[in-house]
Amino acid sequence: MKQSIKIFTSLIFLFTCSVAFGQNVPLGQETLVRHLDQELSGESTKRNLEYIARLHRMRGSDDYNEAIDFIKRKLEEYELQAIEVIRIPADGKIMYGTQKSRPAWNVDFAELWEMEKNDGVWEQKTRIADWESIPMVVAQDSHSGEVTADLVDIGAGTSESDYKDKDINGKLVLTSSQPGSVLSLAIKKYGASGIISYAQNQVTAWWKENENLIRWGHLGTFVETKTFAFMVSLKQARSFQQRLKNGETVRLNAKVVAAQTPGSYDILTAVIEGSDPTLKNEEIAYTCHLDHPRPGANDNASGCMAILEVARALNKLIAEKKIDRPKRTLRFIWSPEIEGTTALLNFKPEYAEKIKFNIHMDMVGGGPETKAIFHVSRSPMSLPSFITDVGSAFGSFVNQSSNAYASGQSAPYPIVSKEGGKEALHAVLGEFHMGSDFQVFNEGSFRIPSIYLHDWPDRYIHTNYDEAGNVDPTKLKRSSFIGAGAGYFIANIESSDVADMVAIMKQQVLNRASALLNYCQPLPVEQQENTKFYFWKNELEAFQSLKKVAAIQPNIESDYLRYISNLKKTVGAGKRSKANAQDVYSRNLEVKGPMSVFGYDYFFDKYGSNKERPAIYGYVGTRGGGFEYAYEALNLVNGENDVTEIRNILSAEFGDIPLQHVEDYLRALASINVISLKK
Give yes or no for residue 226 having a pLDDT over 70: yes
Query: pLDDT (tens digit, 9 = 90+) per residue, 382-409?
Result: 999 999 999 999 999 999 999 999 999 9
Query: pLDDT (tens digit, 9 = 90+) per residue, 492-520?
Result: 999 999 999 999 999 999 999 999 999 99
Q: What is the pTM of this model?
A: 0.95
Q: Name 411's Cβ contacts closer than 8 Å, sequence gap at least 6.
A: 401, 402, 404, 405
Tell me phi and psi for residue 439, to 5 degrees: -75, -15
- The DSSP line for 460-529 is TTTBTT--GGGB-HHHHHHHHHHHHHHHHHHHH--GGGHHHHHHHHHHHHHHHHHHHHHHHTTS-HHHHH
Residue 578: pLDDT band (50, 70, 90) is confident
Residue 4: pLDDT band (50, 70, 90) is low
Give yes or no for residue 9 having a pLDDT over 80: no
Residue 20: pLDDT band (50, 70, 90) is very low
Give yes or no for residue 441 having a pLDDT over 50: yes
Query: pLDDT (tens digit, 9 = 90+) per residue, 231-261?
Result: 999 999 999 999 999 999 999 999 999 999 9
Residue 227: pLDDT band (50, 70, 90) is very high
What element of type H or E holds 401? helix 387-406
Task: State how far Cα 660 lies from the chain centre.
Answer: 29
Query: pLDDT (tens digit, 9 = 90+) per residue, 334-384?
Result: 999 999 999 999 999 999 999 999 999 999 999 999 999 999 999 999 999
Give yes or no for residue 19 having a pLDDT over 90: no
Cβ atoms 506, 563 nearer than 8 A: yes
pLDDT over 70 for what percent of the chain? 97
Give yes or no for residue 598 having a pLDDT over 90: no
pLDDT at 597: 87
Residue 610: pLDDT band (50, 70, 90) is confident
Q: Name beta bridge partners: 10.
A: none
Measured CA distances, 649 to 523, 533, 643, 678 (Å): 16, 9, 10, 20
Query: pLDDT (tens digit, 9 = 90+) per residue, 463-487?
Result: 999 999 999 999 999 999 999 999 9
Q: What is the CA radius of gyration of the chain?
A: 26
pLDDT at 13: 52
- The number of beta carbons lying within 10 Å of the beta carbon of residue 339 is 29
* Distance (Å, whole) CA 175 – CA 182: 8
* Distance (Å, whole) CA 516 – CA 521: 8
pLDDT at 218: 96
User: Which residue in 185, 207, 206 sits closest to 195, CA to CA?
Assistant: 185
User: Which residue in 131, 132, 148 sits closest to 140, CA to CA?
Assistant: 131
Give yes or no for residue 14 having a pLDDT over 70: no
At residue 142's C-alpha, the angle toward residues 137 and 145, to 5°, is 100
Cβ atoms 309, 415 nearer than 8 A: no
Query: pLDDT (tens digit, 9 = 90+) per residue, 633-652?
Result: 999 999 999 999 999 999 99
pLDDT at 448: 98
User: Which residue in 396, 372, 353 sits closest to 486, CA to CA?
Assistant: 396
Give yes or no for residue 17 having a pLDDT over 80: no
Amino acid symbol at 65: N
Residue-level length of the chain: 679
Query: pLDDT (tens digit, 9 = 90+) per residue, 523-535?
Result: 999 999 999 999 9
Q: Is the peptide bond before 658 cis (omega within 30 degrees of 0)?
A: no
